[in-house]
Amino acid sequence: MPRTHTMRTFSRAIFVLLHLILSAVIIALLFHPSADGSTIHFVQSGYSSRPSTFEPRKDLQQSLTISPDSDELVQNPKLLERILEDPYVYFRYINTPFAQAVCIRFQEYLGEIPNVNLQGDAHVENYAITERGRGLTDFDDATIGPMVLDLVRFGVSIHLACRANGWEDNAEEIVDSFLSSYGAALENPLLTIPPPELVARIRARFSTDRERALAERQELMEPLGEPLENFKSGYKQYVDQMKVQHSDLPSYFFDIKKAGRLKMGIGSALDEKYLLRVEGATKANEDDLMLEIKEARGLHGISCILLCKVNPMRPIVIQARLAHEPYLYTGFIFVAGNKGSRTGKTFWVHEWYDNYHELSIRTSFQTPKDLRDIAVDVGAHLGLGHPRNISDTDSSGLRATLASTLEKLRVEIEQTISDLARQTVAAWQQFRREATTGKTGTSRN
When divided into structural domains, the chain yields a total of: 1
- How many other CB atoms sit within 10 Å of the CB of residue 104? 17
Q: What tens digit of pLDDT does each residue of 321-343 get?
A: 999 888 999 999 987 655 555 45
Q: What is the pLDDT of residue 59?
A: 65
| From 42-51, 69-78, 144-153, the region with the lowest mean pLDDT | 42-51
Asked whether residue 39 carries a pLDDT value surpassing 90, the answer given is no
- Helices and strands (H and E) in the chain: how many: 14, 10
Note down the domain range covering 267: 210-358
Q: b or e along 65-76 (b: 16 or more beta carbons within 10 Å of the residue's beta carbon)?
A: bbebeeeebeeb
pLDDT category, 31, cuts 50, 70, 90? very low
Asked whether residue 304 carries a pLDDT value surpassing 50, the answer given is yes
The reply to whether 438 falls in a domain is no
Q: What is the pLDDT of residue 109?
A: 96
Higher pLDDT, 314 or 344: 314
The reply to whether 229 falls in a domain is yes
- Kindly state the average pLDDT of the residues 290-313: 92
Q: What is the pLDDT of residue 329?
A: 95
Asked whether residue 16 carries a pLDDT value surpassing 50, the answer given is no
The reply to whether 115 falls in a domain is no
The reply to whether 41 falls in a domain is no
Asked whether residue 155 carries a pLDDT value surpassing 50, the answer given is yes
Q: Which of 255-264, 285-294, 370-379 has the highest mean pLDDT?
A: 370-379
Asked whether residue 359 carries a pLDDT value surpassing 60, the answer given is yes
Cβ 151 vs Cβ 109: under 8 Å? no
257 three-state secondary structure: strand
Q: What tens digit of pLDDT does each residue of 214-260 get?
A: 988 899 998 887 777 767 778 899 999 999 999 999 999 999 999 99
Higher pLDDT, 22 or 417: 417
Asked whether residue 193 carries a pLDDT value surpassing 50, the answer given is yes
Looking at the chain, the whole-number percentage of residues with pLDDT higher than 70 is 80
Give alpha helix (H) positions in 250-332.
313-322
311 three-state secondary structure: coil
Asked whether residue 268 carries a pLDDT value surpassing 70, the answer given is no
Asked whether residue 90 carries a pLDDT value surpassing 60, the answer given is yes
- 3 by Cβ neighbours in 10 Å (0-12 / 13-18 / 19+) ranks as exposed
The reply to whether 84 falls in a domain is no
The reply to whether 62 falls in a domain is no
Q: What is the pLDDT of residue 344?
A: 73
| From 54-63, 190-199, 348-357, 367-376, the region with the lowest mean pLDDT | 54-63
Q: What is the pLDDT of residue 47?
A: 34
Gap between the Cα atoms of 437 and 163, Å rounded = 26
The reply to whether 176 falls in a domain is no
The reply to whether 198 falls in a domain is no
Gap between the Cα atoms of 412 and 390, Å rounded = 25
> Using the 8-state DSSP alphabet, how is residue 235 labeled?
H
